[in-house]
């Protein structure tokens, strides 16, 4: 492997390690939530991940990820000793309260008969043997990579080592990042119908990553509360009920470049009736949001067969009633100015009225307003009484020129 390749491999491992850390924190949080525990989550504070409960000592998690499954958690493993160094130094400084639990969670496999093997929370747990092997390694190993960790361990007296190791638990052979999907789905199996589990998990993870970034970027921002996670899972669960559909926050918050829409039919329709640019921007935003959200529902197979088409037909019927009422009120001989004013009134109805929902639980107005823009773009609806003729006159010279 070349130097460049090794560097790329190392960078990929580091990035995956951070993603794994945040993702594993979500898994552990969901497990605790199922047990009806109240907690707060901190990332990259006292440790990789810290769980705290009111009035109780924290749980510190060191999380180690490897791209491949390797059986290398031996007495001199860097993963083990980097973790021990962090804990020994925190213990010596008295940074953590008495009763704190220390967890090393690693995708590596503990080797039978080595210290990590004896620190697992299973029948193999043997603190005397673990202490003996760690002490022997710290005294005899010449590893420069672990030298500072050995020194941190030796700086603790026997009583301190015993107290620390009594609270240390090694969870080896943890699922790798690509295998966490199965673990997350298992803990969330109760949340929604099985066919909705993947899109449900994608949305929950999206929220979790955004919330973790807030916490990491601004340390003044409060840590993640179990109540927040519970509220988000409840909200998402409601969106996946039969009478509802999920709305993607990233679609709502996405910025839209209006310059790419200036030649769309729905924009020409608005210019025909002299709608101002600020309102055209809102129309473009609604078009984008509705198009993206509808496409997401289709890709995730969340819609019933023909449901979108039936919804559009209902909106067209509502529009056509008002369109025909407008035609009857002003008559075919009305002046152009009168026709524009009538069209503007009709379009105001699109912008401000409460329209039919695709399902009773889908209340976001951009769905109906944006769908009207989509229908306008295909000339299935329009605002000017002669919108098809006017669009033909506007667009045909361009087609001939092209």
pLDDT band at residue 402 using 50, 70 and 90 as cut-offs: very low
- Residue 3's pLDDT is what? 44
pLDDT band at residue 7 using 50, 70 and 90 as cut-offs: very low
CA atoms within 13 A of residue 173's CA, in its CB half-sphere: 8
First to last CA, the chain: 54
Chain mean position to CA 70: 30
Average pLDDT, the chain: 89
pLDDT digits 0-9 by tens, 165-174: 999 999 999 9
What value does the mean pLDDT take over residues 189-196? Answer: 89
pLDDT digits 0-9 by tens, 137-161: 999 988 898 999 999 999 999 999 9
| Per-residue CA distances from 378 to 40, 176, 263, 304, 397 (Å) | 50, 47, 13, 23, 19
Furthest C-alpha separation in the chain: 102
What value does the mean pLDDT take over residues 246-270? Answer: 94
Neighbours of 304 (CB within 10 A): 10
User: Is the pLDDT at 271 greater than 60, yes or no?
Assistant: yes
More confident residue, 43 or 67: 43
More confident residue, 95 or 257: 257
How wide is the angle at C-alpha 315 spanned by C-alphas 310 and 320, nearest 5°? 120
- Residue 96's pLDDT is what? 83
Most confidently predicted of 18-27, 211-220, 321-330:
321-330
pLDDT digits 0-9 by tens, 279-289: 999 999 999 99
User: Is the pLDDT at 84 greater than 80, yes or no?
Assistant: yes
pLDDT band at residue 399 using 50, 70 and 90 as cut-offs: low
C-beta of residue 76 within 8 angstroms of C-beta of residue 137: yes
- Residue 13's pLDDT is what? 66
- Residue 68's pLDDT is what? 66
CA dihedral 389, 393, 394, 395 (to 10 degrees): 100
- Residue 331's pLDDT is what? 85
Neighbours of 302 (CB within 10 A): 17
- Residue 121's pLDDT is what? 92
Q: Which helix (H) or strand (E) holds 316?
A: helix 307-330
Neighbours of 307 (CB within 10 A): 15
More confident residue, 58 or 70: 58
pLDDT band at residue 8 using 50, 70 and 90 as cut-offs: very low
Please tell me what DSSP assigns to residue 100. -
pLDDT band at residue 214 using 50, 70 and 90 as cut-offs: confident
Q: Which of 49-58, 185-194, 205-214 has the lowest mean pLDDT?
A: 49-58
- Residue 4's pLDDT is what? 47
Tokens read off for 94:
């008295």
Q: Considering the chain, what percentage of its residues have pLDDT values greater than 70?
A: 93
**How does strand 49-52 pair with strand 168-171?**
unpaired
Q: Which of 249-263, 319-333, 388-402 has the lowest mean pLDDT?
A: 388-402
C-beta of residue 169 within 8 angstroms of C-beta of residue 102: yes
Most confidently predicted of 74-78, 177-181, 265-269:
265-269
Q: Which of 13-17, 68-72, 294-298, 383-387 has the lowest mean pLDDT?
A: 68-72
- Residue 6's pLDDT is what? 42
- Residue 65's pLDDT is what? 86
- Residue 219's pLDDT is what? 60
């Amino acid at each position: 492997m070349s130097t460049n390749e090794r560097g790329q491999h190392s960078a990929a491992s580091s990035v995956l390690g951070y993603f794994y850390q945040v993702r594993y924190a979500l898994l552990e949080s969901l497990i605790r939530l199922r047990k009806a525990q109240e907690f707060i989550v901190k990332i990259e504070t006292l440790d990789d991940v810290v769980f705290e409960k009111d009035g109780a000592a924290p749980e510190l998690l060191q999380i180690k990820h490897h791209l491949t499954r390797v059986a290398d958690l031996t007495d001199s493993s860097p993963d083990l000793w980097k973790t021990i160094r962090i804990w020994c130094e925190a213990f010596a400084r008295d940074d953590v309260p008495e009763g704190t639990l220390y967890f090393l969670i690693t995708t590596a496999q503990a080797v039978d008969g080595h210290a990590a093997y004896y620190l697992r929370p299973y029948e193999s747990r043997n603190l005397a043997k673990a202490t003996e092997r760690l002490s022997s390694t710290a005294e005899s190993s010449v590893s420069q990579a672990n030298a500072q960790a050995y020194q941190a361990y030796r700086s603790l007296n026997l009583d301190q080592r015993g107290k620390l190791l009594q609270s240390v638990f090694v969870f080896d052979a943890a699922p790798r990042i690509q295998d966490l999907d199965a673990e997350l789905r298992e803990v969330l199996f109760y949340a929604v119908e099985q066919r909705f589990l993947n899109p449900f998990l994608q949305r929950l993870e999206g929220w979790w990553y955004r919330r973790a970034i807030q916490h990491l970027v601004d340390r003044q921002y409060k840590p993640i509360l179990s109540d927040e996670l519970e509220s988000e899972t409840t909200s998402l669960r409601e969106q996946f009920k039969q009478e509802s559909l999920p709305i993607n926050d990233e679609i709502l918050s996405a910025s839209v470049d209006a310059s790419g829409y200036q030649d769309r039919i729905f924009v020409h329709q608005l210019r025909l009736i002299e709608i101002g640019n600020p309102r055209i921007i809102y129309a473009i935003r609604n078009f984008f949001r509705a198009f993206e959200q509808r496409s997401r529902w289709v890709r995730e197979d969340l819609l019933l067969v023909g449901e979108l088409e039936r919804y559009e037909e209902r909106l067209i019927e509502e529009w056509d009633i008002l369109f025909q009422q407008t035609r009857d009120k002003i008559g075919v001989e009305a002046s152009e100015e009168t026709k524009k004013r009538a069209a503007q009134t009709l379009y105001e109805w699109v912008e401000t009225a409460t329209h039919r929902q695709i399902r009773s639980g889908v209340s976001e107005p951009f769905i109906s307003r944006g769908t009207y823009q989509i229908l306008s773009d295909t000339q299935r609806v329009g605002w000017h009484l002669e919108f098809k003729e006017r669009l033909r006159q506007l667009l045909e010279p361009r087609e001939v020129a092209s």
